[in-house]
Structure formats: structure tokens, C-alpha cells
Amino acid sequence: MTLMTKKTISEMAKSATPLLAVPFAAAALVSCGEKQQPKQPNILFIMTDDHTTQAMSCYGGRLIETPNMDRLAREGMRFDNCYATNALSGPSRACILTGKFSHENGFTDNASRFNGDQQTFPKLLQQAGYETAMIGKWHLISDPQGFDFWSVLSGQEEQGDYYNPGFWEMGKEITETGYVTDVITSKALSWLESHQKAKDSRPFCLMFHHKAPHRNWMPAPEHLGQFNDTVFPEPDNLFDDYSDRCPAAAEQDMSLAKTFTEDWDLKLMTREEMLKNPDNRLAKVYSRMPEDVQHKWDSVYAGRIAEYRSGRLKGRELLRWKYQQYMRDYLATVLSVDESIGKVLDALEKTGELDNTIVVYTSDQGFFLGEHGWFDKRFMYEECQRMPLLVRYPKAIKAGTVSDALCMNVDFAPTFLDYAGVEVPSDIQGTSLRPVIENDGEAPADWREAVYYHYYEYPAEHSVKRHYGIRTKDFKLIHFYNDIDCWELYDETKDPQEIHNVYDVPEYSETRKYMLSLIDSVQTAYGDVDPCEHEKVLFKGDRRYVGRTE
């Protein structure tokens, strides 16, 4: 095994620092006699909510065509190993803004409130002369700081609504008319237009963040029913029995079989039923649609309701059926996101700004599309720990390159700062991806060996137990803790679906030993206190946790 020969994370953190300080070679963009180009690149940071790589054709997904995302991959770089450090909306967003892990930025779960006074990359870009804007899903409770303009979704505890969404815009509550993906897109286009019209010589940084494809997956009027005749391929492990793993997998509450609701998720309510039950959650969001869209909705879901109520669907067939309905709705919302990307790319192309802009496409985390029988995210398993990451910037990226470098969402902030020529503050924990980007996607020799993960939101919705872990190129080590003490080890090369926990398999004892020592050095380097050690101190005599077995 070659893992032992690589540098430890703490060594790597030290050696990476000089790379971060390299200023952007702005001069290369300006040549004599030509119209002065912006000194720093624009940044268009497109992020969606819960969009996963299985639902992107450029990642080889078998479920849907995403031509505009594919364009970004074709003209830019696709990252195959970019990971969330805490696969939940608010926490991931806080990690992205600060370049720091949850234990450092303080936003550990969705019940947190972001301390907006802390350092973020938009603030640093603004100070460095960027015009900055934040449009769409924010989900950090406190008001955005560091933006010249902001308009963020409000309502449903800041998840926003699919139809006629409310916004909290520069300190005012407003409601917009239309479908959320279109509304956010129009706002972004208007902002880009006003930036252009103002003949503002400043580069821009636009955070353009969609709600879709977040639960409860309500498609746009033009895509309602689009997949009603499509039968989607099922994941191999739709009927996972969770044997051979820690009890966390069996004890979650995010299964299509048990958790998926008839009303909110499957949308099995007729118009009459919704009008009679105006307090029902589905009825409430239905009432936000214009009447003509409601009628289209009724006709599209009538068949689904009849099929379900026929009583023919039972056992495995019922689960299969639920999976198909889930895919129909989820994927229809992705269609609008893809179109939105196309519109914004076209607009930038028209103004001649596209090639001066670093365009990034990502999602706050991945998502389960029926794998293990689940929807939602939270677990440190591949489908949701992995984030899509596409970057287009022809001045530095060779079209169509693919990177397998291990990246994390905390790397985004230093990457943007690096390209903007802003010195990366030493307290930022991520590493600029610029050396990877400018090396055709290859990680430099001293690149990190593992990415880190820590999920905290438990007890809570979906009952995913607290856990932390590391993932190297070949292995993943997870420790579930709190009301459980259980380790998992996966051999990603042999078991990419993460079905066989090899933590106690004798052939893996050396790997296990190595991964346990690696996680210690990773936690030390990033300053995360092992929660079990921490709790042992806090709860002397009340050992809810038994420490690790090694």
C-alpha cells in the first residue's frame, strides 16, 4: 500500500501555504493597444440545492440529459472527487463562504445562525474591488454581509417556495410572481445587465444560488408531467437491507419505503382534497400557483393518484413505483436549472464577458436518488458527500479536462481569492484549487491525502446519526457517535456502493490501522476535537461513548 509514503495533512497544510500567496497574473490579460480588460476575472458562482452527479449527463448519469451543464464540462474542467465537509445546506454554505470547517465557522447544523461578522470570501473580494451580489437560496438566517446587492429566499424557514417565492431583499420582504428557478434567473440576469450598463470597471462576483432541486420537487409549469411516460433505471441497491454495517444505516428516517409521504412527496391529493384542507403543506404550496397551472398540475397528477388508490401496488412493487414518481418530479426540476444555466451563459457570451469569467457549477451537497432505498443526504456516503463541480475559465483551463484530485467545499473560497489576486488569509483551512486547475486537473505531488467530514445534526429530521470521517482515493473511514459508537471502513475500489463494511475484516487490519492514524492527524491539522474524547471529558462517569477500539 502506498498510502504511508505520502505527506501527512499537517505537513501538507504547511507546504501548501506558499502556493496560496501567488498573486493572479493579471498582466497577462492586458495587451498594448487593446481595450483594457478587467484586471481580475469575474466570478459566477452557480450553486443548486441537493443536485447530485447521478442526475448530470456529464458525470455519466443515466437519468437525464443536462446539455448546459455538459457544456460547462466540455468547455471547462469536471472535478470527480469534490466533497462536502458536512452534507447539509446551511453548514455547506457556511464552509464555502468562510473556507473553514463547521467547527471553525460555528454553523454546524441547520438550526444554527451564521455569524455574519466573520471573514468570508465575498467580503474579501468586495474589499479588493469586486462588485458582489448574492441572489437565491442563502439559508444562513442572519442577513448576508459583503454584498453590494442581495436578494435571498425567505419563507419555509428560508428554503423558499417553488411558486411565487418570497425574498428578503436588501432588508425588505417581497413576493415575486412565477416559478422559483425562473425568478432567480431573471434576478441574476437583471443584475448582470445593470452591472454591464453601469459600465462598471469593477469585476463582479455573483452568487447565483437555486432552490431546485430541493424537496418537495415541484416542476415548472412547462415541465409538469414531462417524464410521466419515462421509466427510469433503478439503482442496484434500491432494496438495501443494511446488513453488514453500523446500525446508523438501518435507523435513519429517509427511506422511500417509510419516510416518503403521500402528500408532500408523492403529491397524492386531488384539487378537491387540497381545497378542503387548506392547512395541509401540499395544499399551501398548491395555493401559490396560478389557476391555470393548478389545472395542469391536476391533470398531470390524476393518473398517479388513481394508480396509487387502485390498491394494486404492494411491497417491492410499491417501492419501485415510489422511486419512479420521485425521479419524475426531481428530474423535472433539474430541467429548469439546466435551462437557467444556458440563459446565463448566453447572456455573458453576448456581452463578451464569458471568457473573462470563472464560471463554477456546484450543489451544496449531493443526494440519494434511491440508492440504499433513500432520498435526502447527510450521510458520508458517496452519493451525497460528493458534490458536482464544474469550472469553466478558458484562460486557465483546457477544455474538456477531468480532475480526480481530492477537493472539498472549503477550497472554493481560497480558489476565488487566489484568482482575484487577494492573499489568502492564513486562517482559511481550504486550499486553492489553482495548482490543480493549471496542471490539467492533476494534483501536485504534495496535495492532500484525505478529505475530512463531520456531520452534527442529530437528533433531528431524518435521524442520521452524528459522524465524522475521512476519505482517501481508495478508502473511507467513518465513525458514528453520540448514542452509538460504531466504525465503518469501505474499500472504494472494490465496493463503490459502500455495502460491505470491512472495518472488522482481518485482511483490512493494516488499512484500518493506517486510516485510524490518518484521521488523527487530519483532525489535529484542522483543529477538530474528536467529539468522543471531548465528550468523555464533558461527561465523566456518564460514558455515553466508548472511545475507539484501537
Contact residues toward ligand SGN (CB under 6 A) are 49-50, 88-89, 110, 139, 159, 214-216, 264, 376, 461-462
Stretch that binds Ca ion, among 11-19, 47-55, 248-256, 486-494 (CB under 5 A): 47-55
Residue type, 65: E
Minimum distance from residue 461 beta carbon to Ca ion (Å): 13
- Using the minimum distance from each CB to ligand SGN, give the nearer residue, 40 or 108: 108
**Residue 383 binds Ca ion (CB under 5 A):** no
The owner of cell 423535472 is 332
- By a kind-dependent CB cut-off of 5 to 8 A, residue 462 interacts, out of Ca ion, ligand SGN, none, with ligand SGN
Classify 226 as helix, strand or coil. coil
- Using the minimum distance from each CB to Ca ion, give the nearer residue, 363 or 523: 363
Which class for 236: exposed (0-12), middle (13-18), buried (19 or more C-beta within 10 A)?
A: exposed
Minimum distance from residue 214 beta carbon to Ca ion (Å): 6
**Residue 457 binds Ca ion (CB under 5 A):** no
- Using the minimum distance from each CB to ligand SGN, give the nearer residue, 91 or 99: 91
Q: How far is CA 161 from CA 173, 264, 477, in A?
A: 14, 13, 37
Minimum distance from residue 461 beta carbon to ligand SGN (Å): 5
> What sign does the CA torsion over 97, 101, 103, 107 have?
positive
The residue from 9, 40, 50, 447 that contacts Ca ion (CB under 5 A) is: 50
The three cell numbers locating residue 233: 433505471
The three cell numbers locating residue 374: 433513500
- Using the minimum distance from each CB to ligand SGN, give the nearer residue, 210 or 392: 210
Minimum distance from residue 313 beta carbon to Ca ion (Å): 30
The residue from 364, 376, 382, 530 that contacts Ca ion (CB under 5 A) is: 364
Pairing mode, if any, of strands 149-154 and 401-403?
unpaired
Helices (H), 80-214: 89-98, 102-105, 121-127, 180-197
What is the rounded end-to-end Cα distance, in angstroms, of the chain? 20
Geometric angle at alpha carbon 437, from 435 and 438, rounded to 5°: 65
Residue type, 297: W
The neighbour count for residue 223, using CB atoms within 10 Å, is 20
The owner of cell 460547462 is 72
- By a kind-dependent CB cut-off of 5 to 8 A, residue 110 interacts, out of ligand SGN, Ca ion, none, with ligand SGN
- By a kind-dependent CB cut-off of 5 to 8 A, residue 240 interacts, out of Ca ion, ligand SGN, none, with none
Q: Which of residues 227-266 bind Ca ion (CB under 5 A)?
A: none
- Using the minimum distance from each CB to ligand SGN, give the nearer residue, 131 or 265: 265
- By a kind-dependent CB cut-off of 5 to 8 A, residue 376 interacts, out of Ca ion, ligand SGN, none, with ligand SGN
The residue from 89, 126, 159, 252 that contacts Ca ion (CB under 5 A) is: 89
